[in-house]
Amino acid sequence: MSKLKTGVLIVAAILAAAVSGGIVGGAAAVALVRNAYNGPVESAVLPELPVNSDELGEPMTLRVHLPVEYDSDPDRSFPVIWVVDGPSQGAQVARSMQTLSRIEISEPSIVVEVPSSSRGRQSDFIPPWEDSAPDAQADRFYRFLEDEAIPAVAEAYRVNGSRVLVGHSMGGLFTLYALLQQPSLFDGYFVFSPSVWVGGEQILGELERATPSPNSVSTQLFLSLGESEGYEMLSGFEALETILASWPSSDLRWQATITEGADHGSNPELSFPVAARWYSGR
């Protein structure tokens, strides 16, 4: 594809993300592109970080999107956004963050694409509960993140200790599971179109039993669902809202929203700018 065509596609993506995310109006979006876009935002070849995982019993390769400020400001450290289903979701997260940081809505961040293991996402993202499939290993995948991947990135790159975990669909289920394990491991959890129906909706019962005591949690949780998603997805999402609303006052700040014009596939891309703006408080 020619550089001109590539540039046109990136401009269109920036405009769509800005307007649909509710960040700016049409005229302001044009100004955003004039100020924020100046050719491709990163090299086509991403840095790769190999991690030999004892937890998963195999080598894993993380792909890393560095903000443009990483090289231009060598004394600066950065937050890290961890994206499960990384190969399919990481690029759009990195593009959104590049734009949002240019217009000072979000802080420039490192985006890490986390792939699934050779067992596949259904194994990695499903918690090993009583009704789960025998190869469910969300507990092992979580320990891979906590004990192996996060330290590896901290050693290889200039990170400031702030972390956000992003998951979509079954990855959203895993992100909720991760919240239950150790809320303080990540400062923010972005959950797009979570598949709470998997495993007989057991995640809902786990969340009910995990009702936090006051000041027990210091993190932020953003949930979204596309308005065109099916009833099974909607009923689970509404049940999540009910459980969260019943929690007593705590340090957990949360937001749940329906994304206008989105279906299951488009919801994460349309939701991410909204989640990032909400998370930053701007």
Q: What tens digit of pLDDT does each residue of 221-259 get?
A: 999 999 999 888 999 999 999 999 888 766 688 999 999
Strand order in the sheet with 188-192: 48-53, 58-65, 110-114, 78-84, 159-168, 188-192, 219-226, 252-259
DSSP-derived 3-state class of residue 233? helix
Report which of residues 23 and 267 the model is more confident about.
Answer: 267
C-alpha to C-alpha distance for 231 and 180, rounded to whole angstroms: 25
pTM of whole model > 0.85? no
Q: What tens digit of pLDDT does each residue of 123-136 get?
A: 999 998 877 777 89
pLDDT over threshold 80, residue 104: yes
Report which of residues 247 and 106 the model is more confident about.
Answer: 106
Report which of residues 244 and 25 the model is more confident about.
Answer: 244
Mean pLDDT of 191-217: 82
C-alpha to C-alpha distance for 193 and 195, rounded to whole angstroms: 6
Q: What tens digit of pLDDT does each residue of 129-179 get?
A: 877 777 899 999 999 999 999 999 999 999 999 999 999 999 999 999 999
Q: How many CB atoms lie within 10 A of CB 115?
A: 17
Q: How many CB atoms lie within 10 A of CB 88?
A: 16
C-alpha to C-alpha distances, 150 to 12, 159, 175, nearest whole angstrom: 34, 10, 15
pLDDT over threshold 60, residue 198: yes
DSSP-derived 3-state class of residue 262? coil
pLDDT over threshold 60, residue 60: yes
Q: How many CB atoms lie within 10 A of CB 23?
A: 21
C-alpha to C-alpha distance for 155 and 20, rounded to whole angstroms: 37
- pLDDT at residue 17 in the model: 44
For residue 101, what is the enclosing H or E element? helix 86-102
